[in-house]
Amino acid sequence: ETGVTQTPRHLVMGMTNKKSLKCEQHLGHNAMYWYKQSAKKPLELMFVYNFKEQTENNSVPSRFSPECPNSSHLFLHLHTLQPEDSALYLCASSQDGATSGRVQETQYFGPGTRLLVL
């Protein structure tokens, strides 16, 4: 139990569906992240939110739409996905170094959502 929860844990969706992934952190952190982990590929950073503002977007297709309503919750809205989007989607949180006074802050990960797009 890392203090970061993700729901659902498993999701199967068709290419025309719209679904959302949810992440919640109970650590009092102010930065949250979405990562994608595909088979046989390194973990890829998708989005970073700091104080609810998106600070990084690593060239992610628009069919992935993040939302961060507050510093404890992060969503990833999915629509018209492709089969190659099937992967493990991981959420993480950290305390941003700018506020903690430390440069290096550890990211804590949730258990992930296993997504299958048919």
Where do contacts with another protein occur on this chain (CB under 8 A)?
A: 2, 4, 6, 31, 33, 40-43, 45, 48, 50, 55-56, 88, 90, 92, 94, 96-97, 103-112, 114
Q: Are 79 and 66 in contact (CB under 8 A)?
A: no
Tokens of 92: 């993480």
64 vs 89, which CB is nearer to another protein?
89
Tokens of 35: 């990562």
Tokens of 26: 């109970």
75 vs 108, which CB is nearer to another protein?
108
Please tell me whether residue 82 adopts helix, strand or coil conformation: coil
Closest separation in Å from C-beta 11 to another protein: 13
